[in-house]
Structure 1
Amino acid sequence: MDTLTPESTTSSRFSQIVAPFCAAKNVTCDPYEKYRSYDGKCNNLGNPLWGSALTAQPRFISATYGDRYNSGSEPRKNSVRYGSLPNPRDISNTVHKEGTTFARGCLSNVAFTHFGQFIDHDVVSTPIKKSKKGDIRHTEVPMLNAIHTLFLREHNRIVGILKKINPHHDGLRLYNEARKILIGVYQHIIYKEFIPKLLGTTLAHPFVASAVRNHLFETKPGNGFDLSALNIQRGRDHGLPSYNKFRKFCGLQPALTFGYNAIGLRDMSYESAGALQRMYRHPDDIDLFSGGLSETPVQGGLVGPTFGCLIALQFEYYRNGDRFFYENAFSKTGFTSVLFH
């Protein structure tokens, strides 16, 4: 008989609490359905829950938590040598706020950053589509609200065009056809314009410049929201393994030392490597967010090789697992040649 631990008891209780809010496990799909569902179910007939709302996205590599059973009851918190990992706020101030990370502000405009946030909210809530009810976070910043408004109005504009072409179609048909077209436009922007700009010529979460990063949502000097510290901490809360483990996953050389050399932090500047060394006891302690963001961007891109690898692979999975993806030439769910062009 298995022995109950505080960690397993907490995990079981948590499962009971969230169960009513989780997606149904038994889903029946109609293979001839022309339109994607509002919550993303049945995008993939072999795995109906892939990419649907209220379902967890699979990890690239196993989680690393801080409790002895690796159950998730405690965040990743321990150094591989001794003691605890450094405080996220201290890392933010030393590695990110002082400007040792590469300045990306000159390579794109603010709209690019907020469109990345728009995609991020889409992926976290319901991947590569918007639900029938919309996204409740559209008013976080004005530019994000503008993007939501732009897509809403574009949908209505498409409805007006379709109504003139097909006056016999009812409102629901017009709505679904316009939605299908708009999602295709959205996916085209992501895969043909946004991703190539983000990943550059080598590989094809935009990040705010260091001057803005630590003043997010600031209403007066000093009361801002430290996004870098938050991202570091929630990475630990979710058991994200270290930067080096993701380097290995991507087939990249992990850092054996903090040196600015072939066996060290080879994809960073001397200054960035030094900032990380001042904060961490061992290269295997480096958080993914801080390590990835400290890398020098690849040629023509905005992210380094580690984030580039992870982002490229993730969006490849989104595309390949979605039978409604706009470029798929499926007779029932795809675009006609006239509509596609």
Structure 2
Amino acid sequence: MRSSFLQQRQTRPELRMAGWILLLLWKTSFILASKQRQIDFFRFTNKTQAPDMEMSASQRATMVTFLQKGMPDAFKEAEDEMAASNDVPSRQSLCSRAGDIPQQKSMMSVIRANRFNWPKEKSLEMGGSARMSEIAMGKMLDKGDMDRNQMTAAMSSIDARQTPIGRFCLNRDQRPCDPNAKYREMDGWCNNLRLPFWGAALTPHIRVTPPRYDDGISSPRTQSVVMTNGGRALLPGARQISTTLSRGEDRPHPTVTLITMQFGQFLDHDFVNTPISLVQTKPGEASPPQCCNVAPNCRDAACFPIDIPANDRFYSKFGVKCMEFVRSLPAPRPDCTMGPRDPMNQNTHFIDLSQVYGPSADENKNLRAGERGGLRINTSPLAIDFRMMLLPADKDTLDCQRLDESRSCFKSGDNRVNIQTALTAIHTIFLREHNRISDFLWNARPDLPDEILFQETRKIMAAQWQAIVWGEFVPVLVGDRIAMDDRNGIRLVADGFFNGYNDNVNPGTWVETSTAAYRLHSLIQDWLPLKRTFNESFKPFHEFFFTPYYMYEPGALDNLAEGLCHENVQSFDNQITTEMTDHLFQAVDEPFGLDIFSLNIQRGRDHGLATYNDVREFCGLPRARSFKDLEDVMTPRAIASLARVYTHVDDIDFYAGGISENPVNRGDGLLGPAFACILTGQFRDWRLGDRFWYENPGQFDLAQLGEIKKASLAGIFCSNTNIKQIQPRVFLDAVDGVNPRLPCQNIPRMDLSKFLPSLPGAGK
């Protein structure tokens, strides 16, 4: 078991002060180990098109004319190709001759591993449309004799409304917007009154760096920049990168607590839910394609499996040579143009608690209690007998490995709620917080209808959520030096309102954020801490995948919440626990699971993510010409690891490079400069581009804003668990005189009575 030092601190509080002393030594090590850059302000180089795609106006016009002439035939061929791929009997006949019909047990493993990326029916329709566009683009480019990269760029000038994909184009007038609406739409539509689909659910991620596809359209990046006699060399495989860079070393962070990791995952599920592709297994039914142990003539186009070397340090013990991987669904472009593939987002892009409330009105309706503005709760005998307010039960057993018929999976606004128990716990706490606030409002104004009580509660919830994310969490990620510099645009106002809303800022989730910079898996410990009443205080992390049943134990939520605030995360670096690189989503009856490091690399290539060097350039860092040039942000050991697995510095995947960097500003923040840069820009744009941002004029009055400033994660925990003491800044260790553990009655809380004057009919 790792992190024995952290476990000793349960009985030896004096070791907490030792942790802060270690922090000073830890920061000093970065000064000695590398020529670390000091960063206050990121100067972004906005360049979303590669240099080789630039062209004159006349060149573009010529190419557009050529492409438009070829569109009808190209789309007809694309339709025929997709129809053939959906011909279930023919495909089964081919597979049967190859002897490769997947067995049910292996298919269930594939389904469960991909359950958290499950597409909605509308997503599948839109994804099919985008896929047809990709195929048609490829056929048009194959028939041209002009520069392929420039032709791809010219696609952005082509209006595809008259093609078969036209019905999925988003029309800014298709749903009228009320400029005086008091509340957000559930799906994020109409936040921007000029471009109402900006930030809405079922729209693409956006990019701030050029896409990198082998064919310029959609084929994942597999080729090195290095030329050989036979053409371009191949990039190293994802698992090879994982095992070369990460050895699962124990490097606990001296001051940042484990709740940072868990809060981070909960936040991630607010702004991104990227669905995968499915295939028809029989008419009317679909599931993820099986990609491993399948003959080439049976492998679906959505497959992008990860090869595992024969001498792999772990999987070779079990004869595993392939890891399942299914590509994300592409999204049609909102402006109905054509261009390189972009992944879809099923959630709203805004930080609005869509993981609690659902990203659509229909999904939200199924979560509502229908009275008092509340959310549904669990009505199982266990929950009622022990008077526990738990999430409602979900009868869909695919979401978890059900071991006890009396304990069901849980349902929330996001289908990933059951992935691991600590995530379920945070969902439960926010459910309770919603119902606590809605009960207060109902008791004060029982005359108000359920819908008004719900929306007013949701508005207050989103406000304190944004205040906690930007005020408490973001500074831990990027460091106070960056977070407090007003030029970066992420510092909350001290007094008054925020006047920075800009309807020209797209609040969309960046591919660079969701696919790399916000993948915080390096923080995960190889255990979860269960405190107080459990016989075993620490259990291996993989035992909690798809098994949320601890929540039915009396006191389980309190114990887990306290443990997350008490123990520390791993440092953010290229060392990821083997619980995540060997045992991710491991089934109860299996000795191995998946590898999150490999999946992150593969997903980056699937999404056409720019390289590490591309992102350095975007962030204002000099483009590295050799591995030695990385010394400004990395240790010699980290550089040596990258050089062992990559042939050229331009080949480095953004995720692999980003987690290899030293923490920004000598440990002021958790992340390295490249990841800190991307997240600084992302949180800036989420704020600037949100018309309903809580600090904007018209959202709350000054007295209410004063109460929202009191909001903290510590306060939410105190209000919704039986925790008795907690440190005010829960993302950091409790240290006497610095961040002391206080009785909950001493933790500031919002005075909800200040929100009553804004309710309809108040004062009558």
**TM-score under structure 2 length normalisation:** 0.41
Shift of 1:30: 0.6
Task: State the SS of the aligned residue for 1:108.
Answer: strand
2:183 is the counterpart of 1:35: yes
Question: Could you tell which deviates more after superposition, 123-132 or 56-65?
Answer: 123-132
2:626 is the counterpart of 1:257: yes
Given the alignment, which residue of 266, 270, 275 partners 1:118? 266
Could you report, residue by residue, the CA deviation over 1:251-291 in whole angstroms, capped at 9, with x for unpaired residues? 012221112xxx33420111110000000010000000000
What root-mean-square deviation, in Å, do the aligned CA atoms of Structure 1 and Structure 2 show? Answer: 2.6
State whether residues 476 and 669 of structure 2, in contact with CA within 8 Å, keep that contact through their aligned partners in structure 1: yes
2:602 is the counterpart of 1:233: yes
Cα distance in 2 between the residues matched to 1:248 and 1:312: 15
2:660 is the counterpart of 1:294: yes
Shift of 1:207: 3.0
Shift of 1:312: 0.8
Say if 1:71 and 1:151 are closer, same or farther in 2 by CA, change over 3 A: same
Paired amino acid for 1:339? Q
Partner of 1:86: 236
Shift of 1:224: 2.4
Could you report, residue by residue, the CA deviation over 1:89-128 in whole angstroms, capped at 9, with x for unpaired residues? 01011112354xx946444333211211111111112231
Paired amino acid for 1:203? I
2:446 is the counterpart of 1:167: yes
Cα distance in 2 between the residues matched to 1:238 and 1:10: 21
Shift of 1:180: 0.4
Task: State the SS of the aligned residue for 2:225.
Answer: coil
Cα distance in 1 between the residues matched to 2:168 and 2:417: 23
Say if 1:264 and 1:105 are closer, same or farther in 2 by CA, change over 3 A: closer
5+ residue gaps in structure 2? 1-65, 83-127, 133-164, 228-232, 273-346, 359-363, 368-412, 484-517, 524-575, 708-764
Question: Could you tell which deviates more after superposition, 195-204 or 317-326?
Answer: 195-204
Partner of 1:55: 203
Question: Could you tell which deviates more after superposition, 11-20 or 56-65?
Answer: 11-20
2:615 is the counterpart of 1:246: yes
Alignment of 1:183-194 (within 5 A): 183-194=462-473
Could you report, residue by residue, the CA deviation over 1:143-184 in whole angstroms, capped at 9, with x for unpaired residues? 111111111111111001111222321111100000000011
Cα distance in 2 between the residues matched to 1:21 and 1:111: 44
State whether residues 198 and 303 of structure 1, in contact with CA within 8 Å, keep that contact through their aligned partners in structure 2: yes
Given the alignment, which residue of 689, 696, 700 partners 1:335? 700
Structure possessing the higher radius of gyration over alpha carbons: 2
Paired amino acid for 1:240? L
Cα distance in 2 between the residues matched to 1:22 and 1:193: 40
Paired amino acid for 1:126? T
Cα distance in 2 between the residues matched to 1:176 and 1:292: 40
Task: State the SS of the aligned residue for 1:59.
Answer: coil
Paired amino acid for 1:274? A
Shift of 1:48: 1.1
Partner of 2:387: none
Cα distance in 2 between the residues matched to 1:325 and 1:158: 20
Cα distance in 2 between the residues matched to 1:20 and 1:96: 46
Say if 1:7 and 1:278 are closer, same or farther in 2 by CA, change over 3 A: farther
Partner of 2:493: none
Partner of 1:208: 522
5+ residue gaps in structure 1? none
Partner of 1:276: 642
Higher relative contact order (CA 8 A, sep 6+): 1
Partner of 1:96: 246
Say if 1:257 and 1:152 are closer, same or farther in 2 by CA, change over 3 A: same
State whether residues 52 and 126 of structure 1, in contact with CA within 8 Å, keep that contact through their aligned partners in structure 2: yes
2:297 is the counterpart of 1:75: no
State whether residues 129 and 168 of structure 2, in contact with CA within 8 Å, keep that contact through their aligned partners in structure 1: no
Cα distance in 2 between the residues matched to 1:279 and 1:108: 31
Say if 1:256 and 1:312 are closer, same or farther in 2 by CA, change over 3 A: same
State whether residues 23 and 54 of structure 1, in contact with CA within 8 Å, keep that contact through their aligned partners in structure 2: no
Cα distance in 2 between the residues matched to 1:309 and 1:103: 24
Cα distance in 2 between the residues matched to 1:305 and 1:93: 24
Task: State the SS of the aligned residue for 1:79.
Answer: strand
